[in-house]
Amino acid sequence: MVDRIYNFSAGPATLPVDMLEQASKDIVNYSDTGIGLIEMSHRSKEFMAVAADTESLLRDLMEIPANYKVLFLQGGASSQFFMIPMNLLGSGEKASYLNTGTWSKKAIKEAQLFGDIDIAYSSEEQTFNRVPLPSDYTVDPDSEYLYFVSNNTIYGTQFSAFPKTDTILISDMSSDILSRKIDVSKFGLIFAGAQKNMGPAGVTVVIIRDDLLDKVPANIPTMLKYKTHADKDSMFNTPPCFAIYAVGEVLKWLKKKGGVEAIETINKAKASLLYDCIDSTDYYRGHAEKTSRSLMNISFNLPNSDLEGKFIKEAVKIGLNGLKGHRSIGGCRASIYNAFPTAGVEKLVAFMKDFEASNQV
């Protein structure tokens, strides 16, 4: 087997090696059926079992209540930016949004096409370096829902505690789903693109409370109604079969690791290694305020852009890839999702210390 690099990319991101090896077999001959996983009918008993097992594992790991539907949809998480207001806002209705980064801005733009959108909070003037405290915003009592992004990949911020409101709570958890224990019953809808913590790009998981399925306006196209997919167990049309299978394999891996509670402990330890390195010197500066720091994405800067370019280039030479920061803020970014190994963080920290010693300003 070829030696693997450490992939710090924000997504598509590192997946468990065990899952990749199993997928490489099943894509040619699934479970000794004589047919590859990506060739078989989505209505075959074999694939229907794959989809059912994947949903069951997700329900188990996230402790999803029985009155919630789990949907496997296409169109990426970005399609949820318009599907949510299309389904949940009637004519003249209002929703509140917390603007904490690029993905919430995109969601706000789409939502404004369908309703009266109140931006209850924004950290844009601070280059999205923090998420709000409860005292920083008020939810309009006329709002149908409050929308927020739980973890911001670009800026390295994360809600350590979720908003508390009597309004329906909706969250984009694309980059931290399954990384820590949450109470699903506090939410009306949760969605996440798979390509960070769950699997490859191609499937978006939507977890929606039953009572919201009948809220959809009558003039919404069939394919864009959550109820359409809920009524057909995500089989209304051909689903992203391989991506759903891969999610299931990742969930099996996570369960073997001890589940969400166990991986949360590992994630906190990995992030602490890197944040401790950043905090131990003035050479590296984290972008996010300390109270808003993400366990998944750590954005940081060096003394100047020339050093950042050199840092990224030299890191690649020793197998530390994907450390270039997002173009909107530059600098560096280390994404350390569930499947990212602790050894990779340790190697990065050692490199950071060596680089600082050899490249003083």
Does domain 258-358 match CATH 3.60.130.10? no
Active-site annotation, residues: 103, 172, 196
Helix (H), strand (E), coil (C) string for 159-204: CCCCCCCCCEEEEECCCCCCCCCCCHHHCCEEEEECCCCCCCCCCE
Considering the chain, tell me which residue range(s) the CATH 3.40.640.10 domain(s) occupy: 18-256
Strands 204-209 and 68-73, bridge-based pairing: antiparallel
Instruction: Please list the residues that pair with 19 across neighbouring strands.
Output: none
Q: What percent of the chain has pLDDT over 90?
A: 96
Spatial CB neighbours of 27, under 8 Å, sequence gap ≥ 6: 36, 37, 38, 242
Q: What is the mean pLDDT of residues 329-337?
A: 96
Global confidence as pTM: 0.97
- CB contact at 8 A, 204 and 191: yes
Q: What is the mean pLDDT of residues 253-260?
A: 98
Quick check: 1 pLDDT over 70? no
The CATH fold of domain 18-256: Aspartate Aminotransferase; domain 2 (3.40.640)
Alpha-carbon distance 341 to 350, whole Å? 15
Q: What percent of the chain has pLDDT over 70?
A: 99
The 10s digit of each residue's pLDDT in 101-159 is 999 999 999 999 999 999 999 999 999 999 999 999 999 999 999 999 999 999 999 99
In the three-class reduction of DSSP (H, G, I as helix; E, B as strand; rest coil), residue 263 is classed as: helix
The 10s digit of each residue's pLDDT in 47-92 is 999 999 999 999 999 999 999 999 999 999 999 999 999 999 998 9
Can you give the pLDDT at residue 58? 98
- CB contact at 8 A, 311 and 333: no
Can you give the pLDDT at residue 3? 83
Q: What is the mean pLDDT of residues 29-43?
A: 95
Q: If pLDDT is split at 50, 70 and 90, which confidence band does 2 have?
A: low
- CB contact at 8 A, 289 and 136: no
Considering the chain, tell me which residue range(s) the CATH 3.90.1150.10 domain(s) occupy: 258-358
Can you give the pLDDT at residue 218? 86
Residue with tokens 């990506």, as numbered in its chain: 38
Q: What is the mean pLDDT of residues 32-52?
A: 96
Average per-residue pLDDT for the chain: 96
The 10s digit of each residue's pLDDT in 151-179 is 999 999 999 999 999 999 999 999 999 99
| Amino acid occupying residue 142 | D
- CB contact at 8 A, 167 and 145: yes
Spatial CB neighbours of 218, under 8 Å, sequence gap ≥ 6: none
